[in-house]
Amino acid sequence: MPVFWQGMLVNLQLLLGLLSIGLAIGILVAIIEVYAPRPLAAVASGYEWFFRGIPEIVLLFLFYFGLTRAGWAVSPFMAAVLALGARSSAYQSQIFRGALSSIPAGQMMAARSLGMGRVAAIGRIILPQALRLSIPPWSNEFSAVLKDTTLAYSIGVVDVLRQARYMSVRTPAVSLTAFIVVALMFLVLTYAGNWMLGLLEARVRVPGLEGRARREMRFSWSRMWRRVRWRRF
Amino acid sequence: MAPLLRTEDVHKRYGKEEVLRGVSMCLEPGETKVIIGPSGTGKSTLLRCINRLTEPDRGRIWLEEQEVTARKASINRLRADIGFVFQDFNLFTHLTSLENVRLGPLRVRRLGRPQANRTALEALAQVGLSDKTKSYPAELSGGQQQRVAIARALAMHPKLILFDEPTSALDPELIGEVLEVMVRLAKSGMTMLVVSHEMGFARSVADEIIFMEHGVIVEQGPPSRMFKAPTQARTGEFLRKISELYGEAD
């Protein structure tokens, strides 16, 4: 069992790394797409298109071998963080772009009319609102990338999946059990992550700025029970 | 003494449409002028040009001795001195009333937090909303939101305030509380330039009424004369029509 935790710790580190990169670059790309002059915005759109258009597993190989070829002796872990981070930043930028453009133009105008600069207005007025609206779709992305960390397996990162694989090779009798354990761990983590994001959303909620209802995405025992009963009769 | 605000031959076009076709006017300190006119004649555009939320194509604008339209004008500093009240309030949705009003003094004027707080509370008291400091915009009525927006402008201690149809988005029963605040402001000596169809307000507090149509000023003068004996036929026609509409027949 400890090997599973050890492996999952690697997945969580991957997750933390790729989410930080994805968040930082995603917000930046979104701001550029919405507020920067056209040539710059086009570059940002190109970035988004590029990293959304290539299968993640291909990106992993491209980063790993590409960076090595470029002379950076990159570890599989680092290559995975960068590749998955770049991919996630492209998807996250879509989320933030949508949220940014949904903030009414009057907010920016009011901020400017007080004598605030553009950057200050974005930082103090637009972003705080856009980020609140982004939490529900962002939890979607969170759930996706949490599971995508297992793709790092393909370039040799010793993550939870590889640990399970080692175990099944060593003791073929427990193969299925090993993968079931991995599956359960991800189920629990997905639930926990979304639960925490739900708390965060409630914590920063402001009247008039509620995000779309996120209930559909979350698992609920009571709803499950209602459905089951419905089927029975 | 130089006027507080002066515009000279301001032009603005959107595509083919010439919205402003040379508007020159001025505003003395403490004066209130009300701009009236049919919709689509550039009244709001003129207001926006004055603090360059919209860039005028041609013409010049001065705030006291400083030219707003100068290429090297520090526009943010000038805007801080020009309050702007929007038709649809545009309060910052994620901030409480107090935070909305305090933002300018704190982040633009860079007063310390205690002083910014004091300034904001004073401004909220001026619009009669001392009890709503912790409310978010969505928790306030339209009239209250607009009063917070006026407080937000006041807290900057501006040299003048521009009002862009401040009551047009309000339900009829909420207009009164906003006008009341504006009347008080005008009487306290605030310099105000107001785009509005509120003839009662214009009549009682405006030093001068400016009638605009098709991007130019057709006529301007004190309300008594404008209502009784306009020199331009169009002015009289418009005033009659609007008075009928708003039940202000005289």
Q: Which tokens in the block code for residue A166? A: 């080692």
| φ, ψ (nearest 5 deg) of residue B212 | -110, 145
CB-CB under 8 Å, A120 with B107: yes
Residue B26 has pLDDT above 60, yes or no: yes
How crowded is residue B246: how many other Cβ atoms within 10 Å of its Cβ? 12
Q: Look at residues B226, B87, B93 and name the one whose alpha carbon lies nearest to residue A204.
A: B93
Q: Which tokens in the block code for residue B234? A: 């169009």
- Across all residues in chain B, what is the average pLDDT? 94
pLDDT, one tens digit per residue, over B60-105 is: 999 999 999 998 999 999 999 999 999 999 999 999 999 999 999 9
Q: Look at residues A113, A130, A114 and name the one whose alpha carbon lies nearest to residue A34.
A: A130
CA B76/CA B74 separation, integer angstroms: 6
Distance from CA of A229 to the nearest CA of B (A): 40
Q: Give pLDDT, residue A230.
A: 55
Residue A47 CA to its chain's centroid (Å):
17
Q: Which residues of A touch B (CB under 8 A)?
A: 104, 106-107, 109-117, 120, 124-125, 128-129, 132, 206-209
Sequence ranges of the domains in chain B: 26-90+145-150+158-245
Sequence ranges of the domains in chain A: 2-232
What sign for the dihedral angle of Cα B103, B105, B106, B112? negative
CA B163/CA A207 separation, integer angstroms: 27
Q: Look at residues A115, A116, A125 and name the one whose alpha carbon lies nearest to residue B99.
A: A125
Q: Give pLDDT, residue B242.
A: 83
The residue of B92, B96, B119, B161 whose CB has the most chain A CBs within 10 angstroms, and thus the best one to mutate to test that interface, is B92
Pairing type for strands B160-164 and B192-195 reads parallel
User: What is the CATH code of the structural domain delimited by B26-90+145-150+158-245?
Assistant: 3.40.50.300
CB-CB under 8 Å, B84 with A128: no
CA B62/CA B52 separation, integer angstroms: 12
Q: Give pLDDT, residue A220.
A: 60
Nearest to A117 among B76, B93, B94 (CB): B76
Asked: is A2-232 a CATH 3.40.50.11030 domain? The reply is no
- Across all residues in chain A, what is the average pLDDT? 91
Beta-carbon pairs below 8 A across chains A and B: 73
Q: Give pLDDT, residue A208.
A: 87
HSE-CB for B23 with a 13 A CA cutoff:
35
Q: Which tokens in the block code for residue A64? A: 């790993």
CB-CB under 8 Å, B93 with A107: yes
Q: Which tokens in the block code for residue A38? A: 């056209």
Distance from CA of A129 to the nearest CA of B (A): 6
pLDDT, one tens digit per residue, over A170-190 is: 999 999 999 999 999 999 999
Nearest to A110 among B82, B86, B107 (CB): B86
Distance from CA of A120 to the nearest CA of B (A): 9
Taking contacts as CB-CB distances below 8 angstroms, the residues of chain B near A115 are 76-81, 104, 108, 156
How crowded is residue B233: how many other Cβ atoms within 10 Å of its Cβ? 9
Q: Look at residues A172, A152, A148 and name the one whose alpha carbon lies nearest to residue A162.
A: A152
CA B112/CA B125 separation, integer angstroms: 20
